[in-house]
Amino acid sequence: MVVFHRVRVVIVLLFVCGSLRDALSFYLPGLAPVSFCEKEEGDKNSDVPDCKSAIELFVNRLDSVESVLPYEYTAFDFCADQSEKRPSENLGQVLFGERIEPSPYKNKDTIIICQSVCLKSYNTEKTEDKAKLEFLKKGMLLNYQHHWIVDNMPVTWCYDVEDNQKFCNPGFPIGCYVTDTGRAKDACVVNADFNDKDTFYIFNHVDITIFYHIVENEAAGARLVAAKLEPKSYKHTNLEKPDCTGPPMSLGNKFNGDIKIPYTYSVKFVEDKLIRWASRWDYILESMPHTNIQWFSIMNSLVIVLFLSGMVAMIMLRTLHKDIARYNQMDSVEDAQEEFGWKLVHGDVFRPPRKGMLLSVFLGSGTQIFIMTFVTLFFACLGFLSPANRGALMTCAVVLWVLLGTPAGYVAARYYKSFGGEKWKTNVLLTAFLCPGVVFADFFVMNLILWGEGSSAAMPFGTLVAILALWFCISVPLTFIGAYFGFKKSGIEHPVRTNQIPRQIPEQSFYTKPLPGIVMGGILPFGCIFIQLFFILNSIWSHQMYYMFGFLFLVFIILLITCSEATILLCYFHLCAEDYHWQWRSFLTSGFTAVYFLVYAIHYFFSKLQISGLASTILYFGYTMIMALIFFLFTGLYVCRVKVQSLAKLQQNLVGRRGPLLVVSVHASTHCVPHYHRKIKTQGYWSEMIFCICTAFKRVSINYISLVGHSVLILSSLILK
């Protein structure tokens, strides 16, 4: 029954996910379209007061799949426009290393043919010019990509790939390199004229095509629905009046002397009556054929969930059936008092764990990360954090983390108090500073490397101070407030008293020892997410656009269910082996998924990426360690609290016609809720046994916490009753 209930929940989520996928034409809420016309905004004779005539083209940072170091547009000594101010950027854009600035490529609504932008001259005998030229060659060697923006849309380079498919890349290369053996690398394969050995070819000309759609009310002007370009290379024999013909612009690797690089561009406009403004991102997103793989990932995860649900149901059914049969066969009170298995540890199961301080701090930080992730993915599914809203995803995550200090302090304080801890000051300080401090220290070291390399991803000093201010002035005080309410609240009452003398744990078999169980516990949760991890890592390190938040949210829910069920199973096995040290083991069982994530990230680095250089390697593994720590706290949050209480005392009338009473309580959560006990008659009836199983399972819940009033935590079951 419970298994079918879970399947029903997942089917509903699949329907929602499919709806989100079909709604690609739904544009980002809150973004208004911009109209373009011949008359300038504010013109008294203009029929549309908010109509623009100038089509602004912005340039962004340059990045490469062979390096983790992005650079600003001006770092490569391209043509720049210093007269206009840079547009403001949000926190997420700064953290991602985006540096948007105006470009010298100006156009309105007129066709432009081979217009000169600027001329760059280099004398290789001068140290400064030689350094600029060498840096430009390095960019071409590592295949650094331009990223241009028109009307908040990426200017794409579309080209044919396998099976007559067209791929639209939101970036285009600086140039390319032909090796000394004559092998054309990267974009050099697109032109047969790129054939000189040990030579660089720079794309110094772009043909820009802007697609527009006339609004139904023609007086409102036109709206841009796409912007595409084709990079080309011309030597331009006539530098005063370039005609965009002739041989490609080549740079010999060992050439010395004067070098002149002219930059030109052309612009044309094409009306497109099929594409609407609301669906103008579709041609970019649809060129990434990953949907079928995503559905395969979902089905793979569902199989794992069904397998685990069946295992839990089977174990509970067999266990209860054996226990009920044994109790029904008891002839005396003495027989009933002979407890066995997990019933023997009922007096030790709530004994405070070792290092309870650290465990409570991890639980508090995990709560903070969980709520942040849930809310961020929820808004992303609604479209508020789509790629059109640049930097919104990271900004939302950081702001939520700062504001969720109260739940972190509350959960850490409640657990620490339930463990019998008295050093409340140390607890709240560790909650506020331990995990965030480790992340910040790692991030600061990475930032120092970026500063040293001159990368645009290096966070400016002002932004670094702002991050510290958010942490110390908002997050830390909120953590103190949450801890205050957590310690003020009465302690968690356990259903049974803890024995004064700890019970001796018998010798454990191999599979019930801590390490094997922890290692096995993370396999199935990782199996649910490893395909989704591939796309996420591609988005981060290969600079591909990630937009499938509906799939990601569904995998997120499946991950929660899988973590809780895997932890419940292993907790049950350990308690059956009379090992009552379940708290840390439960946390580490699901948290070990982060270790598999780390191993997969290492495999991804060596098998998929072409990153070279010591700095890029250190940056990759430094940021990977941050992600692994966050993932560890997030998945480890689902501590399986398996509370098994047996009859400590059987009364004589329980062995009569009424039958013995069996008390079973299974609860998976990270927060204290009222403990329910169901006492049922055990006459061997299947209906009563199924009722007992369902009663136990309905308390198996996945933690989901909301900040209400003074941030009191509310536990809401994702497994519907």
DSSP-assigned letters across all residues of 497-545 = PPPSSPPPPPPPPGGGSHHHHHHHHTHHHHHHHHHHHHHHHHHHHS---
Residue 153 domain-assigned (yes or no): yes
405 with 279, same domain: the answer is: no
Instruction: State the pLDDT at residue 401.
Output: 96
**Residue that terminates a domain, selected from 493, 526, 559:** 493
Same domain, 261 and 364: no
Is residue 681 included in any domain, yes or no?
no
96 plus 209 within the same structural domain: yes
Q: Does some domain include residue 572?
A: no
From 235, 260, 285, the end of a domain falls on 285
> Quick one: 281 and 370 in the same domain?
no
User: Do 75 and 172 share a domain, yes or no?
Assistant: yes
CA dist 570 and 576 (Å) reads 10
Helix (H, G, I), strand (E, B) or coil at 150: strand
The rounded distance, in Å, linking the Cα atoms of 203 and 198 is 17
Query: At residue 715, what are phi and psi to the nearest 5 degrees?
Result: -95, 125
Domain tally for the chain? 2
* Strands of 62-64's sheet in order across: 67-71, 62-64, 145-146, 172-173
Examine residue 1 and state whether it is found in any structural domain, yes or no: no
* 438-445 contacts, C-beta under 8 A, 24 or more apart: 438/629, 439/626, 439/629, 439/630, 440/467, 440/471, 442/622, 442/625, 442/626, 443/626, 445/622
Examine the domain organization and report whether 79 and 207 are in the same domain. yes
Q: Is residue 200 part of a domain?
A: yes
What pTM was computed for the model? 0.80
Secondary structure of residue 116 in the 3-state scheme: strand
DSSP 211: E
Task: Evaluate whether residue 467 is within a structural domain.
Answer: yes
What is the distance between the alpha carbons of residues 233 and 245, in angstroms, rounded to a whole number? Answer: 9
The pLDDT score that the predictor gives to residue 497 is: 77
pLDDT value of residue 217: 67
Question: Which residue in the block uniquely carries the two structure tokens 């099976």?
Answer: 163
Could you tell me if 239 and 361 lie in one domain? no
Q: Is 443 a member of any domain?
A: yes
Are the CB atoms for 661 and 330 separated by under 8 Å? no
Closest CA to 243 of 274, 214, 228, 264: 264
Grouping H, G, I as helix, E, B as strand and the rest as coil, residue 665 is coil
Give the pLDDT means over successive 10-residue stretches in the chain (721 positions): 44 44 43 74 53 86 92 91 84 90 84 89 89 93 94 89 78 92 88 88 93 76 89 86 87 85 92 84 73 70 78 71 62 50 71 89 94 94 84 93 95 90 91 96 95 92 93 96 91 75 76 83 86 88 84 88 84 79 87 94 92 92 96 75 31 32 32 34 36 36 30 28 30
Domain-located, residue 151 = yes
Q: What is the structure's pLDDT at 2?
A: 41
The answer to whether the CB of 69 falls within 8 A of the CB of 453 is yes
Domain boundary among 285, 307, 340: 285
Same-domain status, 265 and 395? no
What's the domain range around 236? 57-285
Return contacts of 426-430, CB within 8 angstroms, 24+ apart: 426/357, 427/357, 427/360, 427/361, 427/483, 428/479, 428/480, 428/483, 430/357, 430/358, 430/361
